[in-house]
Structure 1
């Protein structure tokens, strides 16, 4: 399965504007700017979408690993704090912190910590943050 997100950008780095969309229509032409990404202005933040996706992926992985331990998740709430920074090449992601609260009947704190660590390490978003990124780049005429 391949899922696709798209973005358009018009103008210079600080004065331009862009949009973010998903092919499923979940997100359609969400506006973003330099100010929305870095200054707290209204608009989308691409990194916020990564954090939200990571939370959803983690929750699903936690439910899956719990099932493999014959445990059923009643609920899990995950907040992902993505720290944005600047490095020698410009904007960067300095770190990601997950805060998890769950109700898993029959799980001890130790078993839950083991399951949560498995979900942290093996959810698709966690793994994706270390995969090679390939690219095709074409200059339009």
Structure 2
């Protein structure tokens, strides 16, 4: 079993407090976050942004694996995952939308079918308890 971890330190109350988030690899090391970066659009990171990055990375890898398994050469998969946080009835992630651009040597129908498989089959999609949607464009490599 592969295990990875992230960590966070929070000090203070919700609105005036501050936090720092880190990853095991050191890719993030004591990066600041807070109420203002999450809800007021101030510079800095926030949980939804980090989930979006993880989702985009995981989806891209899963799609590349699925395509390669079908003998389709992948030149590039470029993905953005937009995470929507609803404040109705308390904060809750309600949607993850994938915008994907795929460059490969596969025919469009096959590549799109593989993208649909990765949309729900990547490990991060599987852990998200929300609606997941996707818009994808396919072009030749």
Q: TM-score range by the shorter chain?
A: 0.7 to 0.9
Superposition deviation, residue 28 in structure 1? 0.4
Gaps of 5+ in 2: 130-141
Q: How many residues align?
A: 128
The reply to whether residue 125 of structure 1 matches residue 124 of structure 2 is yes
Gaps of 5+ in 1: 131-141
Instruction: Determine the structure 1 residue equivalent to 2:19.
Output: 18
Distance 1:16 1:57 in 2: 31
Q: Where in structure 2 are the equivalents of 1:55-66 lying within 5 Å? A: 55-66=56-67
Q: Deviations over 1:32-75 (max 9, x none)?
A: 11010011011111110110011010110011000111111111
Q: Where in structure 2 are the equivalents of 1:91-102 lying within 5 Å? A: 91-102=91-102
SS, match of residue 115 in structure 1: helix
Instruction: Determine the structure 2 residue equivalent to 1:3.
Output: 4
Q: Deviations over 1:56-110 (max 9, x none)?
A: 101100110001111111111011111121132x2211201001111111x2221
Distance 2:76 2:25 in 1: 26
**4+ residue runs over 2 A deviation:** none
Greater radius of gyration (CA): 1
Q: Where in structure 2 are the equivalents of 1:2-81 lying within 5 Å? A: 2-81=3-82
User: RMSD value over aligned CA atoms?
Assistant: 1.0
The reply to whether residue 109 of structure 1 matches residue 108 of structure 2 is yes
SS, match of residue 49 in structure 1: helix
SS, match of residue 74 in structure 1: strand
Instruction: Determine the structure 2 residue equivalent to 1:139.
Output: none
Distance 1:60 1:13 in 2: 35
